[in-house]
Amino acid sequence: MTSVQKLAGHRFMQADYLIGRYAATVPAETTLEDVTHPEFFANHLSSFRAGMVINVISDDHKLDCDLRVLTVTKTSAKVRVLRVFDEKTAPKVAEAKISDPIISHGGPAHKWRFIHNGEIVQHGFDTKEAAERAAGKYIELLKGE
């Protein structure tokens, strides 16, 4: 018999009670086929109502979809896919120009640090090179690299 993956309890929370919208974060490797399986949300069926919407996003943001709950039983829920984000067909956004960080020595308490947009992002580096490496990684993160 095949084992069915089930969503853990802490990854499912109420998003908006009045219109029956919930949000579910799922592990990075989760697929659309997984979240549309009738038993995937088996641990949360007491919260389900027909007509509610579940916004699903994976930890790596590769799976991003909205599901409509059609029917709910004691052991399963049938859902319909309302929306699936597709990177290939999504509008392209121009790359933003990220300002350069400032590397400076902040005295004996802060040591070497880097500042971005006037805010001290991180401090306590023993060398200027270490602060520069950390600032480089920070800028890469902002650029999505």
Q: Express each pLDDT in 116-127 by its tens digit.
A: 998 999 999 999
Report d(CA 6, CA 38) in Å as an integer.
10
| Domain presence at residue 2 | no
Give the domain extent around 52.
9-84
Percent of the chain at pLDDT > 90 equals 61
The verdict on 24 and 77 lying in the same domain is yes
Q: Which of 33, 51, 84 is the last residue of a domain?
A: 84
> pTM, whole model, 2 decimals?
0.63
Which pLDDT does position 18 carry in this prediction?
58
- Tell me whether residue 92 is in a domain: no
Look at residue 68 and tell me if it is in a domain: yes
Domain count, the chain: 2
Residues 25 and 71 placed together within one structural domain of the fold: yes
Q: For residue 135, how many other CB atoms are within 10 A of its CB?
A: 21
List pLDDT tens digits, range 11-30: 777 665 556 889 999 999 99
Q: Are residues 70 and 30 in the same domain?
A: yes
Asked if residue 65 and residue 23 are part of one domain, the reply reads yes
- Cβ 66 vs Cβ 83: under 8 Å: yes
Q: Percentages helix, strand, coil for the chain, rounded to the nearest 5?
A: 25, 35, 45
